């Protein structure tokens, strides 16, 4: 196991992509991954929302998708089979999705510790809103008793991460009726708004997540970049905010 030297100054770039098509974001992840592998970009955290989408991980059982083609069309849900771990999950408006594309070699080459770190980021975020969450010894994610508020599914290749987490904030939970979430029978899903009884400002929650991400993964700072094109190196970005 390799652990990063504590003397290295570590900074990450943060992008808020708003609402973005799943395939477009997936392609963007792959592009950033390749650049990170070549040390052409910093560690990167993307926070965003997707239109209604079901994604099936590499080990997903097809029978965990309950809707047929007609129902999917009626509900306006896209379906993608993707290269992360885990089973099936839902993404949609009101849910904050996080895609960290970071070098674990500069933190800790341990995928299990990385998973626990992502859980910790979201548990600390929930704590800021007065919710006491916990881990489940059998299942990845963040839980309030038998209610899952955040799902996690990652890919790590050459110690660079992709994919990440889905945190239910103001999510329309009825869309989970079309799947067996994460292939887990007998458990419920919940959201920050359901637990608190009111809708929560997504931008506010994103800022909390970014700060907790910085804290948990031991960064010295981050740069919030407003211009999406700067990810691809196609333009100089004049809207960078260093934190």
Does residue 224 sit in helix, strand or coil?
strand
DSSP state of 41: S
Active site residue 126: no
Which residue, among 206, 221, 115, has the nearest Cα to 161 in the 3D structure?
115
Residue 96 phi/psi, 5-degree rounding, is -90, 120
Helix, strand and coil in the chain, % to nearest 5: 35, 30, 35
Residues 76 and 241: their CA atoms lie apart, in Å, by 37
Catalytic, out of 88, 166, 182, 216: 182
Return the sign of the alpha-carbon dihedral for residues 6, 119, 34, 58.
Answer: positive
Question: Can you tell me the distance from the alpha carbon of 88 to that of 179, in angstroms, rounded to the nearest whole number?
Answer: 7
- The residues annotated with a catalytic role in the active site are 182
């Amino acid at each position: 196991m390799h652990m990063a030297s504590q003397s290295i100054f570590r900074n990450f770039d943060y992008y808020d992509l708003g609402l973005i098509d799943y395939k477009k974001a997936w392609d963007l992840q792959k592009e950033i991954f390749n650049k990170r592998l070549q040390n052409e970009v910093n560690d990167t955290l993307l926070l965003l929302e997707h239109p209604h989408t079901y994604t099936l991980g590499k080990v997903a059982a097809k029978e965990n998708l309950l809707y047929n083609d007609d129902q999917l069309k009626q509900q306006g849900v896209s379906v993608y089979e993707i290269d992360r771990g885990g089973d099936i999950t839902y993404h949609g408006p009101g849910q904050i999705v996080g895609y960290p594309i970071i070098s674990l070699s500069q933190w800790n080459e341990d995928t299990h510790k990385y998973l626990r770190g992502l859980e910790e980021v979201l548990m600390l975020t929930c704590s800021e809103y007065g919710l006491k969450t916990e881990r489940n010894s059998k299942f990845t994610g963040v839980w309030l008793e038998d209610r899952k508020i955040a799902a996690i599914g990652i890919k790590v290749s050459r110690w660079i991460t992709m994919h990440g987490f889905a945190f239910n904030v103001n999510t329309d939970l009825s869309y989970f009726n079309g799947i067996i979430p994460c292939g887990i029978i007998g458990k419920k899903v919940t959201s920050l708004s359901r637990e608190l009884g009111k809708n929560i400002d997504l931008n506010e929650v994103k800022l909390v997540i970014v700060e907790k991400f910085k804290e948990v993964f031991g960064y010295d700072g981050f740069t919030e970049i407003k211009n999406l094109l700067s990810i691809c190196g196609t333009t100089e970005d004049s809207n960078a905010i260093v934190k």
